[in-house]
Chain A
Amino acid sequence: MNCEICQLKELDVEHFEIHEVLRCKILHTILFHRALGLVRPKDIDLELFEITYVQCGDVELERKVDEKIDQFLDRVDKHPNKKNQICLSFYEVKNKQPTWFTNKVERLYWEQWYINLNVAPHQKGHSGKSTSSKIVVDPEAEERTVRRAALEASLRDVLFQIIRFVNEKKDHIPPIPNLEGVSFPYEITISSSSDSAFGMEMFKRMLQTGHPTMLS
């Protein structure tokens, strides 16, 4: 089974928008489409954008996602001015193959989603709540409004991109193991473009899967 990879369109976000964007994209788009067990969909309205996304209704899932987002935010704070990436991978657990360099459990990744975010510099952020003079804020507010609208349109495009990807590629999905929540085991990894470990993580994943992931 080959691994389908989807590189989502890069978004330029500000620091305070990261949380919502990631929740929307990760929870809504991907996991909802991969939680093929019984779900009770829950509509969530974004606060910053006029977008409604759907959650699976799984509290545990939401908690995990929020944890990962917090980790991502920490990384962004540590590595500003860099392109950051979150990778959501779905894998199958293969039988143990005790080898000397692999973990006990082998994972066969069959789908990977790369969410690319270009976080704006931190100084401009803080939701524009800076206590600077109002006169200065006004043009910035207008600029922010324009940027927000553009980001909303881009976000909507990304969501449609996910939907199209989900629609087009269905054959690679393995049989549904779980009946509740997210049916397939998954993992969320965080990396940044300039992170040297980024490539290493990919390499490790390649080794774990036992076959090149870049080839499909």
Chain B
Amino acid sequence: MEQIITEFFAKSLHIILESRCPYVSSRNYSGEQVLSSLSPSSSSSSSSSFRPRDKWFNLALRDCPAALENIDFWRQSNLEPMIVDVILLQRPIDWDPLNFSPKTGFVSGKERHYYGSDNEEFGCEGKNERIIERWVLQYESKKNGGSTGSKKRSNCTSSHALYKKSILLLRSLYATVRLLPAYKLFRDLTSSAHIRMYNLAHRVSSFVEPFTRREEADMQRFVFTPVDTSCGRLCLSVLYRSSVVDMGSDPSTPISPQFIPEYVGSPMAEPLKRFPSGFVSQSSPSSSPFGRRHSWSYDLYRASPPSANPSPSPSPTYSDSHASLAKQRCRRLPPPSLPHHVPDETLVAYMKTPSYDEYWPSPVFSPSPSPSPPTYVPNSHISKALLRCESAPVSIPVTKLSSMPSLPNKQLMPPSPPLKATLLTAAENIAHCFMLQLLSFSKDRLHQISGARPSVNSSPSKSFSSRLSFQDDYDDGPFVVEDDEILDPSSRQTEIRLAGKVPTWSGLFELPGHPNEPGGTLFVKRSQDAAVGALVRMLNKAPPLHQDLQGSTLQTPTNSVKDTTEISEEPRVQQSSASNIVSSGLGLVTSKTTANALEELHGYRKMKDSLLKLK
């Protein structure tokens, strides 16, 4: 009879957890044809050890690991009450479903935690927990003063009756768990693939704090008729909330459904898809590209998308597909939260793209260092929600000068080789992006960048990295600081800074290096820094373009003028002041249209070829 009681505990727990915990039950259904060991006419019914576990009480159930884990305690002593709490976990908006940790001990099953969750109640700040069901199973033993002889006989018959009644009780339990409101939540969790705002957890213990009166008033009780035995009785009851459906029922949509303009699809679905159109709408709501990226990462990781987070999570998508890298690059171009006016925004985005480009070979594939979106978006909450790479997005702009230098150096060089293949694809995308941007950019910036281009080609990367950090600054493009220095034709710092950027790219793309040349005159106006930076990048990738963009030589459509244009850039830059260059550039730029774009395209093709050679 002891065994019956023990197995009853196990079976009850099995039934309860099987229908309340979405992740505990395995799908291996053991359907072996096992005859019931309980012979109706036999007197001994307690010894059923040879029966498979799940066939106890004539109820063949699937395996339930959670139940197996938790029942050991009651195998040793079935006099302790077994209390199973079914807990409804409701997640806040910024819940990260990727962070969860299973509990040990009596608490089993998967619970999803939020950041920094270490609550005893396996919850976290912001997580709403509520016990929606409490099952109490107890074997109340009563003192039996009967004689041993009669006790044996009574035990035999009572075991038989006990077993039969246990079977009935378990049948009722099996039916009841499916009639209670919590079952609907369970079915919603298991049936739908959508991320829900809630989750079900369970806790098995032998002692719990009783409900408060207020809590108990909200709950209903259902008591199963106790099964009397010769030594006691089995009692099973449940306290349940009848209104759990209202609590847990959420639409099977993302937590914060957000219209993503110009959604371009998931990178996983179309990894090689190009998104040139994304650049056309640079001035469009900045959240679009990032939103897209965000949607990708959402698709990839099924994470609840941070609603208002325009900043994508670059690292996951980076590491997933080459195309995603390229896409991200393109996406970064229009940063969502740039405070500048539209032209600057685009330019800033463009400018920032170079920074990404720099980090692109390396950080792209390494989640942590990517400074990408966070730099654009100073929304801390967004970055926190999205970035798994743990790169402090928000902090990047703050510590850009200090932290950035180290990052690119570390990551730029080592990963470059493996990135070549990706770079090729990315380069193509970049080429498209840049082309589009160039068309939309004012020509003066192109001119400016072209002027600075030569100087970029040579310099240590470290200084470059320091310049890269500037790119993160919206207000000050990478060349803001350089403006002052660029204006000074003889400034070497500018050269170094600008050139710092080049080595990485030049190494990758075999761009012709140009001797140090002050590009200070390129970037004069603070408001144009973003565009300048972007254009510089473009120039880095499209050497021929620089030649064309050269002030007076802008009209030159030939690509072979690369060197000559660079050379010609020097005198022009040195000669004219920044403002003059800008104005002249403006005039020159405006005059360029298709030819410039074609030259750029050619430049990109060369870049692609260079990448191929690097392979």
Q: Please report B residues at the A interface, Cβ cutoff 8 Å.
A: 29, 31, 34-36, 38, 40-41, 55, 58-61, 164-165, 167-169, 171-172, 174-176, 178-179, 183-184, 187, 222, 224-225
Contacts and interface: CB of A to CB of B under 8 A. Distances in A.
Given A167-B224, A175-B40, A40 B60 contact: yes
A28 interface: yes
Interface residues of A, number: 30
A159 B183 CA distance: 15
B184 A33 contact: no
A38 B55 contact: yes
24 contacts: A29-B175, A32-B175, A36-B167, A36-B168, A38-B35, A39-B58, A39-B59, A40-B29, A43-B178, A45-B187, A52-B179, A53-B175, A54-B175, A156-B179, A163-B172, A163-B179, A166-B171, A170-B164, A173-B164, A175-B40, A175-B41, A176-B38, A177-B40, A179-B58
A168 interface: yes
Contacts of B40: 175-177
Interface string A25-47: 00011001100111111010100
Interface centre among B36, B40, B175 (most CB of A within 10 A): B175
A35 B222 CA distance: 23
A41 B179 contact: no
A172 to B, nearest CB: 12
Contacts of A41: 59-61, 174
A48 to B, nearest CB: 15
B184 A40 contact: no
Contacts of A177: 40
A50 interface: yes
Given A32-B174, A40-B31, 16 more contacts: A28-B175, A29-B175, A33-B175, A36-B171, A37-B36, A37-B58, A38-B36, A41-B59, A53-B178, A160-B176, A160-B179, A167-B172, A170-B168, A173-B164, A173-B168, A176-B40
Interface in A162-206: 163, 166-168, 170, 173, 175-177, 179
A56 to B, nearest CB: 10
A175 to B, nearest CB: 4
Contact of B58 (A36, A43, A166): A36
Closest 3 CB pairs of A and B: A167-B225, A176-B40, A175-B40
Contacts of B171: 32-33, 36, 166
Contacts of A29: 175
Nearest to A56: B171
B164 A52 contact: no
Nearest to B167: A36
B172 A166 contact: yes
A41 B183 CA distance: 16
A54 B173 CA distance: 11
A160 B224 CA distance: 11
A77 to B, nearest CB: 31
B154 to A, nearest CB: 16
Contacts of B178: 43, 52-54
A159 B179 contact: yes
A50 B184 contact: yes
A151 to B, nearest CB: 15
B61 A38 contact: no
B101 to A, nearest CB: 31
A65 B183 CA distance: 26
A32 B222 CA distance: 20
B225 A159 contact: no
Contacts of B60: 38-41
Contacts of A37: 36, 58
Contacts of A105: none
Nearest to A167: B225
A51 interface: yes
B228 to A, nearest CB: 10
B184 A179 contact: no
Contacts of B179: 51-52, 156, 159-160, 163
Given A51-B179, A53-B178, A179 B35 contact: yes
Contacts of A33: 168, 171-172, 175
A167 B29 CA distance: 28
Nearest to A40: B60
A158 B505 CA distance: 76
A145 B184 CA distance: 19
Nearest to A33: B171
B224 A38 contact: no
Contacts of A156: 179
Q: Most chain-B CB neighbours within 10 Å: which of A159, A163, A167, A173?
A: A167
Contacts of B31: 40
Contacts of A179: 35-36, 58
A52 B187 contact: yes
A50 to B, nearest CB: 6
Nearest to A168: B225
B179 to A, nearest CB: 6
A36 B172 contact: no
Contacts of A170: 164-165, 168, 225
Given A41-B61, A175-B40, A176-B40, A163 B183 contact: no
Contact of A38 (B41, B58, B165, B222): B58
A32 B31 CA distance: 18
Interface string A128-169: 000000000000000000000000000010011001001110
Nearest to A29: B175
Interface string A52-77: 11100000000000000000000000
A57 B55 CA distance: 14
Contacts of B168: 33, 36, 166-167, 170, 173
A36 B183 contact: no
